[in-house]
């Protein structure tokens, strides 16, 4: 097990969470079954960094790999100024210690109040409830904005037939998102970055690198608000610190491209 320590830029107050047992996305529907959390503004910051299991790089030892869900969790920790230690998991040969933590075998997994919890939806929601400052909540009516971009990107990446409509499906989702940003941006919730941006940003990063390399595809100039959005997110210090190496993204998506 390799551990990589990350220092905070600052600290914030934190709140106690009461949960039972190991939680994973297998047993736990992130939103529906979420237990009520007790919130107290008088709590102190955690004395130790969080432990976070993330995908290991396949090109460089002891480095973060290409998992957009892991980056989403790390971005949330960064934006909330919470410290963390990374545990790199080789997903091609999962170690026993990791499968004990999360029998489902998926990353990210984070240790919160002595319990390991999985699934980026659940993790980020729990972090928001335990550490509400600074707030990252996206209003419910905006959380589905851009939600089909990732699946349509994968559909296009996997496609072998240029006329099967998958490129058009992606373009349609990107155009809707561009138009939304034009009216409501620069971020999904307006001027401040929020949880939905921290979810979409890593996916757009993967899309740009994977489609650029495997399909020689680039985002059309007709989508300037999307381009500015990507530039704004990709240039954030928190994003640069937590992003995967482009080569890992290329290698990671190759099996889907080659089918
Ligand atoms: N819904 C999960 C998805 C997590 C996920 O699919 N992670 C991938 C890596 S990007 C994984 O661990 N895959 C297991 C494997 O490759 O064996 C989340 O949001 O955390």
- Per-residue model confidence as pLDDT tens digits over 32-75: 444 444 444 434 568 899 999 999 999 999 999 999 999 999 99
State the Cα–Cα distance between residues 210 and 207, nearest whole angstrom: 5
Sheet with 84-89, side-by-side order of all strands:
3-6, 84-89, 50-55, 109-112, 115-118
E-assigned strands of the chain? Answer: 3-6, 50-55, 84-89, 109-112, 115-118
Centre of ligand 1 from the C-alpha of residue 102, in Å:
11
Residue of the CA atom closest to atom 13 of ligand 1: 106
pLDDT, mean over the chain: 88
Ligand 1 centroid–CA 108 distance in Å is 7
User: Which of 90, 106, 202 to mutate to test ligand 1, by most ligand atoms within 8 A of the CB atom?
Assistant: 106
pLDDT the model gives residue 211: 98
CA of residue 98 to ligand 1 center, whole Å: 13
Q: Is the pLDDT of residue 94 over 80?
A: yes
Active site residue 53: no
Averaged pLDDT for residues 87-99: 98
Ligand 1: list residues with CB < 6 Å.
25, 55, 67, 69, 91, 105-108, 119-121
CA-to-CA separations, 252 to 12, 104, 249, 255, 258, in angstroms, rounded:
35, 20, 5, 7, 11
232-257 b/e (C-beta count within 10 Å ≥ 16 → b)? bbeebebbeebbbbbebbbbbbeeeb
Residue 7: pLDDT over 60:
no
* pLDDT at 5 (0 to 100): 54
Mutate to test the pocket of ligand 1, among 107, 116, 125, 251 (most ligand atoms within 8 A of CB): 107
* pLDDT number for residue 128: 98
On the question of pLDDT at 132 being above 80, the answer is yes
């Amino acid at each position: 097990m390799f551990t990589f320590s990350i220092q905070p830029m600052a600290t914030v107050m934190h709140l106690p969470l009461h949960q039972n047992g190991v939680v994973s996305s297998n047993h736990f529907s992130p939103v529906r079954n979420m237990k009520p959390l007790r919130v107290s503004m008088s709590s102190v910051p955690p004395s130790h960094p969080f432990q976070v299991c993330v995908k290991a790089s396949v090109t460089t030892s002891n480095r973060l790999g290409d998992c957009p869900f892991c980056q989403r969790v790390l971005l949330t920790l960064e934006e909330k100024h919470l410290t963390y230690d990374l545990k790199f998991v080789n997903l091609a040969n999962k170690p026993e210690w990791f499968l004990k933590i999360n029998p489902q075998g998926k990353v990210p997994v984070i240790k919160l109040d002595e319990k390991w919890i999985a699934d980026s939806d659940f993790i980020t929601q729990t972090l928001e409830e335990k550490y509400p400052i600074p707030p990252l909540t996206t209003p419910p009516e905006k959380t589905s904005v851009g939600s089909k971009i990732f699946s349509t990107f994968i559909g296009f990446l996997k496609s072998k037939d240029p006329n099967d409509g998958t490129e058009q499906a992606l373009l349609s989702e990107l155009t809707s998102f561009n138009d939304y940003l034009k009216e409501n941006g620069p971020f999904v919730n307006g001027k401040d970055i929020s949880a939905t941006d921290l979810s979409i940003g890593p996916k757009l990063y993967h899309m740009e690198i994977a489609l650029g390399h495997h399909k020689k595809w680039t985002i059309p100039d007709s989508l300037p608000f999307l381009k500015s959005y990507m530039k704004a997110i990709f240039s954030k210090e928190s994003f640069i610190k937590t992003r995967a190496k482009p080569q890992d993204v290329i290698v990671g998506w190759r099996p889907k491209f080659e089918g």
